[in-house]
Amino acid sequence: MKQIILTGDRPTGKLHLGHYVGTLKNRVLLQDQYDCYFIVADYQVLVDHLDQHRNIEKNVHQVILDWLSVGMDPNKSTFFIQSKIPQLCELTSILSMLVTVARLRRNPTIKSEAQDVGVDSDKDSIVYGFLGYPVSQAADILLFKANLVPVGADQKPHIEQTEEIAQRFNYIFGDTFPLPKALIGDVPRLSGLDGSSKMSKSKGNAIYLSDTAEELGKKVMSAYTDPEKLRKTDPGHPLTCVVFQYTRAFFSVDSENLEADCRAGKLGCVSCKKLLSSKLNTLFEPIRERRYRFEADSDYVRDIISSGTRKAIERGEETMGKVREAIGLSFNKYF
């Protein structure tokens, strides 16, 4: 029996290069070794983008297209949508009995995400579902009895919290869930084009998987480089330069020569940017082509989502049967 993997994305918009190096590329490889479940976590959009609820449907579709275009394969893995799995809500409400408010408040990701939207997670004004969304995420993971959860480092506290919840469930109700472990990628987070922070849609500093070759070229040209390197012959400081960071993240084999040439004043920023754009465009060409193909075939996209979601419901119902049994909630003489 293959081990089970579960991971996914919030549909808050199109996915970008940071998602690609950070997780998507790895998911494509994991599919051959594991039984993978990929969740479009649309409830989670409501956690911090409540005002964007009207865009959820469109963004769910974008995320699916992004997944398909990078080579995540619904014939090998299960793609499904969180809000279409009623068992997730049922399990969330059960698991919510196994975690204290104090424990949720200690979750460092909740603290910093709350801070990002101007909320103090220690105050009672924090929304209940925001403070509690790690419980819903624990349900995502446990409903499918996942063993491994590949995520970025920022998500690690949620996986640890899930493990604690599973442990507590097993202790009280009997062995039901495997204890899941986070699988943290070794790729550091990509900076945005402006170099100041992480790549993100809200900061307008991202290159998207769905950008055309021309858009990508323009964005790379606008990227932040070493401000002390004004001319080609000035010695550069590659470690402060976004273009170097991207080159290293995507094409690590080439980056050593490039680093030496930049430092030695043998490589100018414009040539360096052109090199990066052309290599990125070569890498993304097949991804774009696949995207155009799937964009034109909405019947296919609908079919894979409906069959993935159906399978997820089936698996979820199997788990919930055991959960209800373990708790003593499987009685049904009244129906």
Question: Closest separation between CB of residue 326 and ligand TRP, Å?
Answer: 22
Contact 181, 147 (CB under 8 A): yes
Question: Closest separation between CB of residue 9 and ligand TRP, Å?
Answer: 5
Indicate the residue among 151 and 320 with the shorter CB distance to ligand TRP: 151
Q: Tell me which of 9, 35, 163, 259 binds ligand TRP, using CB under 6 A.
A: 9
Max alpha carbon distance in the chain (Å)?
A: 83
What are the strands, taking DSSP E only, across 173-225? 181-184
Q: Tell me which of 69, 155, 245, 247 binds ligand TRP, using CB under 6 A.
A: 155
Indicate the residue among 13 and 238 with the shorter CB distance to ligand TRP: 13
CA proximity to 6, closest of 144, 133, 187: 144
Question: Closest separation between CB of residue 204 and ligand TRP, Å?
Answer: 19
Q: Tell me which of 24, 45, 85, 151 binds ligand TRP, using CB under 6 A.
A: 151
Indicate the residue among 130 and 244 with the shorter CB distance to ligand TRP: 130
Determine if 190 is a binding residue for ligand TRP (CB under 6 A).
Answer: no
Indicate the residue among 31 and 137 with the shorter CB distance to ligand TRP: 137
Distance CA 51, CA 9 (A): 18
Determine if 7 is a binding residue for ligand TRP (CB under 6 A).
Answer: yes
Indicate the residue among 41 and 272 with the shorter CB distance to ligand TRP: 41
Distance CA 281, CA 209 (A): 10
Determine if 8 is a binding residue for ligand TRP (CB under 6 A).
Answer: yes
Q: Tell me which of 48, 140, 211, 226 binds ligand TRP, using CB under 6 A.
A: 140
Say which residues have a Cβ less than 8 Å from residue 1's Cβ, sequence separation at least 6: none
Tell me which stretch binds ligand TRP (CB under 6 A): 59-67, 149-157, 168-176, 315-323.
Answer: 149-157
CA proximity to 227, closest of 215, 240, 209: 240
Tell me which stretch binds ligand TRP (CB under 6 A): 2-10, 183-191, 259-267, 284-292.
Answer: 2-10
Q: End-to-end CA distance of the chain, in Å? A: 37
Determine if 42 is a binding residue for ligand TRP (CB under 6 A).
Answer: no
Distance CA 260, CA 21 (A): 24
CA proximity to 246, closest of 236, 233, 234, 258: 258
Determine if 35 is a binding residue for ligand TRP (CB under 6 A).
Answer: no
Distance CA 180, CA 159 (A): 7
DSSP code per residue over 96-151: GGGS-HHHHHT-HHHHHHHHHTT--TTSTTS-HHHHTHHHHHHHHHHHTT-SEEEE
User: Which position has the token pair 């996986």?
Assistant: 159
Going by the DSSP 8-state scheme, the letter that residue 2 receives in this structure is P
Indicate the residue among 47 and 258 with the shorter CB distance to ligand TRP: 47
Binding site for ligand TRP (CB under 6 A): 6-10, 39, 41, 44, 137, 140-141, 149, 151, 155
